[in-house]
Amino acid sequence: MVELKIYKIGQFAVMVNLTVRQLQELDRNGTLPAKRTVTGRRYYTDSDIEKYLNLLI
């Protein structure tokens, strides 16, 4: 079983050179939806980095 690394929204924002607010907007409009914890916090995984990079193409 492959384990994916989990990134908090702030960590992911730094990795993809966006602000937290930009990521929140991408989540709201469905362009780059975040996964949610049981408490509703956004998080991202390695596969989301690939999705983001595909948006740039």
What's the CATH number where 38 sits?
Answer: 1.10.1660.10
- Indicate whether 38 belongs to any domain: yes
For the chain, how far is it from start to end, CA to CA, in angstroms? 30
**pLDDT value of position 44:** 97
Q: Which domain holds residue 24?
A: 6-56
- Indicate whether 1 belongs to any domain: no
Distance CA 49, CA 15 (A): 8
The residues facing 44 across adjacent strands are 7
Work out how many domains the chain is built from and give that number: 1
pLDDT digits (tens, 9 = 90+) for 12-41: 999 999 999 999 999 999 999 999 999 999
- Indicate whether 29 belongs to any domain: yes
Mean pLDDT, to the nearest integer, of 37-57? 94
Given a contact cutoff of 8 angstroms between Cβ atoms, the answer to whether 7 and 15 are in contact is yes
**pLDDT value of position 1:** 61
| Dihedral, 34, 22, 55, 37 alpha carbons, nearest 10 | -10
Beta-carbon-side half-sphere exposure of residue 38 (alpha carbons within 13 Å): 0
